[in-house]
């Protein structure tokens, strides 16, 4: 049973030690933060180590709390881990004693007489909502060039389908068409940020995959693989979406069977938690995976009804949206621009880059073009885009022999 919110719990402001930690956690002062930083540096640790508990512990510790209040604390916990925000810094931002916050996150904030656990106070709830607003605004300002293109909308549709249906959704697409760009933003902006995005490391095998998931969902990476899998299961909930990008990287291991073992573990995590699941694979490996469907992957494919296929190259509709965002006029097909006696056609430049190099090669040229425009004190135009392209192409060429 939970104590009601109008029963304000004591703040325990004078206590400086965490119950289950060996790091001193002073009450949110700059000097205290310096002490914690020095202690963590000595231990070879980072911001993650300052959060002296794991996501599975938080899920259990907050299970008695009001759902919307629990949700915002879970968001703050995961956000701080992802962004490298130290626990004492978070305590300062929400104006709470670190010891009291530790008790709240781990379910130890109880009435000393009755032993009943307190709900999250309105003060902390409002402070955490404010923290979330500030952090999301900073994120948006830091990535002001993000554009919701038609491809991004399809990517988000796949994630929404996974969240609504609580089933695996397979997202297929060519490399460098904007998948990672869209997925990262979905992870932050949708479902209250409770959609962990995991990029599978190359040739990682089962252990590497489990470590990557554990890191992103906020559980401890200590212990053996089975223990970590169990923690991951207990940290995820049905209202979350687990996004696994670059799943095809699991094929590049020293044992072919490892790929199938990895997907069986993913299926087991999904079955236990009931969360939505998005599996992102390139077009090349779609055929390989679906070819193995009957023999090895039947269990996970039967659970997934939805498949979302993206384009083979960067699409015109996506580039038009990006050009509009930057107030760049879309080039006419035969338009030619002269840069220092060198002529080129921006439409053909875009066509070649979309086909052969991908979205990043185009957005980087736009970034470079903006720099050229600023230096020239001019409004951004296709002239700067073509100029940026010619510079990038020239830099990639072998210098001429200057010996006589």
Domain stop point among 142, 174, 196: 142
Kindly state whether residue 103 falls inside one of the protein's structural domains: yes
In terms of domains, do 182 and 36 share one?
A: no
In terms of domains, do 155 and 265 share one?
A: yes
Kindly state whether residue 400 falls inside one of the protein's structural domains: no
In terms of domains, do 386 and 336 share one?
A: yes
Number of domains within the chain: 3
In terms of domains, do 264 and 135 share one?
A: no
Helix extents (H) in 94-224: 98-105, 122-142, 150-165, 179-189, 205-217
Binning the chain into helix, strand and coil, the percentages to the nearest 5 are 55, 10, 35
In terms of domains, do 43 and 130 share one?
A: yes
- Structure-block tokens of residue 364: 């980087």
In terms of domains, do 43 and 77 share one?
A: yes
Q: Give pLDDT tens digits for 216-246.
A: 898 887 889 999 999 999 999 898 999 999 8
Distance between CA atoms of 357 and 346, rounded to whole angstroms? 15
- Structure-block tokens of residue 383: 């002239």
pLDDT on residue 289? 67
Kindly state whether residue 404 falls inside one of the protein's structural domains: no
In terms of domains, do 183 and 283 share one?
A: yes
Distance between CA atoms of 165 and 394, rounded to whole angstroms? 50
Burial class (CB in 10 A: 0-12, 13-18, 19+), 295: exposed
Kindly state whether residue 290 falls inside one of the protein's structural domains: yes
Q: Determine contact, residues 166/274, Cβ cutoff 8 Å.
A: yes
Kindly state whether residue 129 falls inside one of the protein's structural domains: yes
Q: Give pLDDT tens digits for 16-69.
A: 333 333 333 333 334 444 444 444 343 334 788 899 888 888 989 999 999 999
150-165 helix and 179-189 helix, angle to the nearest 10 degrees: 50
Distance between CA atoms of 374 and 44, rounded to whole angstroms? 43
Kindly state whether residue 181 falls inside one of the protein's structural domains: yes
Domain stop point among 309, 341, 372: 309
In terms of domains, do 124 and 6 share one?
A: yes
Burial class (CB in 10 A: 0-12, 13-18, 19+), 272: middle
Lowest mean pLDDT segment, chosen from 8-12, 18-22, 352-356: 18-22
In terms of domains, do 302 and 163 share one?
A: yes
Kindly state whether residue 216 falls inside one of the protein's structural domains: yes
Distances (CA, A) of 320 to 156, 323, 327, 350: 19, 5, 10, 11
Q: Identify the DSSP state of 49.
A: H
In terms of domains, do 113 and 156 share one?
A: no
Q: Give pLDDT tens digits for 279-304.
A: 998 887 777 666 655 556 677 777 87
Full residue range of the structural domain in which residue 237 is found: 150-309
In terms of domains, do 159 and 266 share one?
A: yes
- Structure-block tokens of residue 265: 């573990």
In terms of domains, do 64 and 213 share one?
A: no
Q: Give pLDDT tens digits for 127-164.
A: 999 999 999 888 878 777 889 999 999 999 999 999 99
Kindly state whether residue 399 falls inside one of the protein's structural domains: no
pLDDT on residue 17? 36
Token look-up 């949110």 returns: 28
Distance between CA atoms of 77 and 379, rounded to whole angstroms? 43
Domain stop point among 99, 125, 142: 142
Rg (CA), the chain: 25
Distance between CA atoms of 247 and 278, rounded to whole angstroms? 10
Q: What is the mean pLDDT of residues 160-169?
A: 92
Q: What is the CATH number of the domain that holds 303?
A: 3.40.50.300
Element (H, E) at 273: helix 256-273
């Amino acid at each position: 049973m939970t104590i009601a919110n109008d029963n304000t719990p004591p703040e325990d402001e004078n206590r400086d030690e965490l119950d289950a930690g060996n790091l001193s956690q002073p009450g949110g002062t700059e000097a205290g933060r310096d002490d914690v930083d020095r202690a963590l540096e000595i231990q070879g640790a980072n911001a993650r180590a300052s959060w002296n508990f794991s996501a599975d512990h938080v899920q259990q510790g907050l299970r008695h709390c009001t759902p919307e209040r629990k949700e915002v604390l879970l968001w703050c916990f995961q956000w701080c881990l992802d962004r490298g925000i130290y626990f004492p810094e978070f305590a300062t931002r929400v104006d709470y004693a670190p010891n009291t916050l530790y008790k709240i996150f781990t379910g130890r904030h109880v009435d000393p007489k009755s032993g009943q656990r307190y709900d999250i106070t309105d003060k902390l709830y409002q402070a955490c909502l404010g923290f979330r607003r500030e952090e999301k605004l900073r994120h948006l300002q830091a990535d002001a060039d993000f554009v919701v293109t038609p491809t991004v909308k399809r990517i988000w549709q796949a994630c929404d389908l996974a969240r609504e249906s609580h089933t695996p959704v397979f997202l297929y697409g060519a490399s460098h068409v904007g998948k990672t760009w869209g997925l990262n933003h979905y992870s932050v902006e949708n479902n209250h940020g409770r959609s962990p995005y995991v990029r599978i490391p190359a040739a990682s095998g089962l252990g590497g995959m489990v470590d990557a998931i554990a890191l992103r969902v906020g559980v401890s990476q200590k212990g053996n693989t089975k223990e970590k899998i169990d923690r991951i299961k207990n940290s995820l909930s049905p209202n979350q979406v687990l996004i696994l990008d670059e799943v095809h990287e699991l094929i590049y291991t020293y044992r072919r069977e490892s790929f199938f073992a990895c997907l069986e573990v993913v299926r087991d995590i999904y079955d236990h938690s009931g969360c939505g699941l998005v599996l992102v694979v390139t077009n090349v490996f779609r055929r390989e995976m679906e070819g193995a469907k009957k023999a090895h992957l039947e269990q996970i494919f039967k659970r997934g009804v939805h498949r979302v296929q993206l384009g083979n190259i960067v699409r015109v509709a996506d580039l038009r949206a990006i050009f509009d965002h930057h107030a760049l006029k879309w080039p006419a097909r035969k338009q030619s621009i002269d840069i220092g006696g060198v002529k080129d056609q921006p439409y053909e430049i875009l066509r070649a880059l979309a086909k052969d190099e991908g979205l990043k090669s185009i957005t980087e040229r736009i970034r470079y073009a903006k720099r050229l425009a600023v230096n020239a004190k001019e409004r951004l135009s296709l002239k700067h885009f073509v100029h940026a392209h010619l510079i990038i192409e020239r830099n990639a060429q072998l210098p001429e022999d200057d010996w006589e």
